[in-house]
Amino acid sequence: MEWAWEPRALTKAGAHVILAVRNTDLGKQRAAEMSAMDGPTSVIKLDLADLSSVRAFPAQLDGDIDILVNNAGTLTDHRKETVDGFEMTLGTNLLGPFALTNLLLPRVRSQIINVGSDAHKSATLRLDDMHLRHNKWTRLGSYARSKLAVMLWGLELDRRLRAAGSPIVTQLTHPGWVASNLSNISDAPLMSLVQRGATAVADRFANDIDEGAATTLYCISEPVPPGSFVGVSGRFGLSGEPALIGRTPLASDYDVAARLAAFAEEETGTRLEV
């Protein structure tokens, strides 16, 4: 899983950040680094690929939270499943955050930001086979499909919040192409060669990790309309300043979004109670 870039930027802005991480030792190391330079940071164990971990998380959290940022992004080099039997990419990028948001919603005060991706524009959606048990699985295809699902979830989440007259607002973001460790997923020689090439290109053309936080911070600090998709202004959606950007017709389809949310509710056994 990639290391999230938002916490560093948020602590610099004076926020008390709670890092929800699988590796608490590494999380505490990062938290200590950020606390020493900026603001207070806490660490709580969370594995989004394990619903038992997701369900245990709220009990470890003291009080309410102002802003929930769901920024999971994972890739795998072969098809595998979570402990709950979900396709790993979908389980980590969508179903875990979906369940977490539903469980935490009563304690969220103001905002939910879901990190989607322009990758959704290349995705196909198979609501009859979301875990790709019968259709072809590919590494990048599964990632794009999971992010399309996040986009649709964000659409339905915004609709439900507005319909209920909730004070909570939600947005979707696309951070651009960020020079992070997201693609470091395999030790296989061919994959390692591809990763090294991608890293070299990213180091030259992609946003650095601080710039990758800009779209999330823009949603927090600017009067961005609820339900907006905030990406970057550069060509091909790779880098640039935060800007409102478009999404595909499929990612804007409320009927499909409702069906996607119903699927996620059934899989996770959680429901958004606004």
Q: Select from 220, 226, 260, 257 the least CA-distant residue to 15.
A: 220
Question: Given this model, what pLDDT does residue 43 score?
Answer: 92
Question: Given this model, what pLDDT does residue 97 score?
Answer: 98
Structure tokens at 236: 């091909």
User: How far apart are the C-alpha atoms of 228 and 215, rounded to whole Å?
Assistant: 11
Between 201 and 59, the more confident residue is: 59
Counts for the chain of helices (H) and strands (E), in that order? 10, 7
pLDDT tens track for 154-203: 999 999 999 999 999 999 999 887 555 454 444 444 444 444 444 444 44
With bands split at pLDDT 50, 70 and 90, how would you rate the model's confidence at 38? low
Check if CATH label 3.40.50.300 holds for domain 46-268: no
Structure tokens at 170: 């939600």
Active site residue 254: no
Q: Is the pLDDT of residue 238 over 90?
A: no
Question: Given this model, what pLDDT does residue 140 score?
Answer: 94
pLDDT tens track for 76-92: 999 999 999 999 999 99
Question: Given this model, what pLDDT does residue 218 score?
Answer: 93
From 98, 143, 218, 263, the catalytic residue: 143
* DSSP result, 238-259: SSSSEEE----TGGG-HHHHHH
DSSP state of 18: E
Min mean pLDDT across 74-78, 102-106, 194-198, 244-248 is at 194-198
The terminus-to-terminus CA distance of the chain in angstroms comes to 30
